[in-house]
Structure 1
Amino acid sequence: MIDANILVIDDNKSVLSALEILLQFEFKSVNTISNPNQIPSYPDFTALDIILLDMNFSAGVNTGNEGLYWLREIKKKAPHISVIMMTAYGAVELAVEALKEGASDFILKPWSNERLITTVKTAFNLRKAQNEVKHLRKKESSLKQVINHNKEYIIGNSKTLNSVLTLVRKVAKTSVNVLITGENGTGKELIAREVHNLSLRENEVFIPVDMGSISESLFESELFGHVKGSFTDAKGDRIGKFEAANGGTLFLDEIGNLSLQTQAKLLSAIQNKEIVKVGSNKTIPVDIRLICATNCNLEKMVADGLFREDLLYRINTISIEVPPLRERDGDILVLSDFFLKKFTSKYGKPQLKINQKAEEKLNSYGWPGNIRELLHAIERAVILSEGNILSPDDFILNTNTTISLQKGPNTLGEMEQLMIANALNKNNGNYSAAAEQLGISRQTLYNKIKKENK
């Protein structure tokens, strides 16, 4: 028996009795009304699943106008209910009109019991499916809100930052691909999120991908997905980042660190607007807004044969250069105050303040690690503070931003940092080339740098 509530509305009591007897063996609840004027006062339309509604209630009238009127009234009260119209006069035009007004189906009198039950079951299953779709859409919408929720903000009011944000606002409403460049720690992902939040896709997902953390062997699986059994560890189907971002924005960070082989695969997906999962021959169309970011000089890498020129053209319709913190006049202290409030709240030290001398020290420092370095400096000072005032001595800054070869590194860690810095400088910031020079994998190099930046 189907767990459904049915209401039959017909002025013929014989019809009501027959339908009640027929339907009670198939559905949980069957109720009847013989007078349509009782419809407005029916106690709970929201509890109903299906209504069988006669189209003619007055003797000698067969236009169907009465039924259409009551159909509209029912839909006003409960638009979700499936209404099946019944009539002894089977004009096609009448059936079409009823369907246009929102009826789910049409039954002619006299009816076939088997066909009537099938019609009612079909209408119920359709309504159930529609409700499930609505539920999934609500769930998807909630999930997107959770995914897109980001507590980080773009803080500052310098001219250089405002120029960037002006460009962001102009670009956001278009669908062009965007390349964001700038030093490490300048907030390139925040700019990417701002482009997404101001775009026509703001209610869709924003999927960030750290390209530097993906090994070459897993590149296709991560970005395009795979099918079960396509390789040893493929124990089930997997959706890649492109498919997950369908309809929304895909942010590819550290794009300058891709090998030429992976660049070719990425170019094909962007160019054709479709992907093929690993182990499959089926193409899947994807509709994404692509935003990429890098701290590398991609033009020089193209000249050196390290980056595909055609890929650069694809990802670089509009370029946004994020300024380093040292070029954002006034923003150092604005950000310091923001981070101070954040960490004094986090660590339970609400009375903590930065004195003027300390502010001068922060403002005069070059911040080679940009916003990320400032954030860590403030957090470290808050954690280690013993009083209510932070003085210059509370901020341990690396005033010698590079380790001098003449002075020599003091520890094995410093020596490793020096070798990595020199390799990256020599190879224009390209991780793959630097890793090859150092004799380690690109993944190992990336992990070492990421560990140092934490």
Structure 2
Amino acid sequence: MSGNGQSDAASSGLSVLLVDDNASIAESIALAVRLGGHRIDGATGPEEALSRMAAARYDVILLDMNYAPGRTDGAEGLALLARILTEEPGAAIVVITAHSGVRIAVEAMRAGARDFIMKPWRNADLLARIASAATPRALAAATPAPLEPARLLGDSAAIDRLRALLRRIGPTSAGVVVTGPAGSGRGLTAAALHAASAHAARPLPAIDLRDDMAWDAIDAHAPVLLLRHPDRLGDVAQARLLARLGPDTRCIAIADHAGAIAPALARRIATVEIAVPPLVARDGDALLLARHFARVAAARHGRPVPAFTAAAEVRILSGPWADEVRGLAAAVERAVLLGDGDTIDAALLAPASVAAVAEPAIRFDLEGNERAVIEAALREHHHNVSHAATALGLSRGALYRRMARHGL
């Protein structure tokens, strides 16, 4: 121990994420971690945890194994553990469990957790396990961590398929062209592809091929290049690009139309096409993304993190959003800035956020809106029907009848 009572191992000032829904336990752990010289952020469940990991990198993740009231089987924590390690195999995760949860801790260790600690814990033991879990990451030069987080948030089948494709193609040297609507996350998808590669720890130089001055960066022969808009080049310019690319340089391209890339160039930079799904095809992801954008905007502007009213959730889920995910992010940030309370209503999301489409399907589809509100309430309360019914002002039986009517 050092003279001020802090662990010498803690002097590195690690960045820690704590995922625990118990406020008193979270407060106690956070105090111990801060006294140990580390920085710590908190999340109450999987959605917030993944949101925070999309905005910042953490050296160690302290992971409780149950979040919904009454759950003790550890299934939620194990699912989150698997999700984190799938996207970041080198993540340093320390599982937190009760003495009765030894089986869960063992299962978590087999699944890839670095360590576990039992409740109640000793602070010195907690700090030692944090420092020990972080050490392999610092020493593992063979599998360096990406420079920046590149996480694709969402639970829809469409985004799951996209993540699976990135895991499959990322570690290869194949040229990839990323397509999809502007604002849907093509740049983030390219970054996630790079993060899954052997060059993840190196920068990903981006070249806008519409800018003649930017072409000089091609001659640097970086191991990987991000080429924007090759489909907007003429035949001569595409041939010139092909001639200038180094033989060992992996190319990740972003394009509106893969078919506009000449066959010779496509063989070099577009062996595989990865299409980013539009937000309308990502069932339910819009609300999850909106909550993430609200957290990010609140942190950026020093505001409390707001909640969305039921009407705002319906508006978010109903869409459409001009400029896709990027437009939703802009609308949420504007709402955080303009709001003067702890909630965001639908009216705050309206300015400059709606594409020019027929409005009756958005405003007057009562059946669709009721289903969206019920789904949002169930997600918010971890599918606890009693809690969701209370939030909606319904009896438990009434909510069950409406769920049956909507096939939920």
TM-score by length of 1: 0.44
Give the TM-score normalised by structure 2: 0.49
Larger Rg: 1
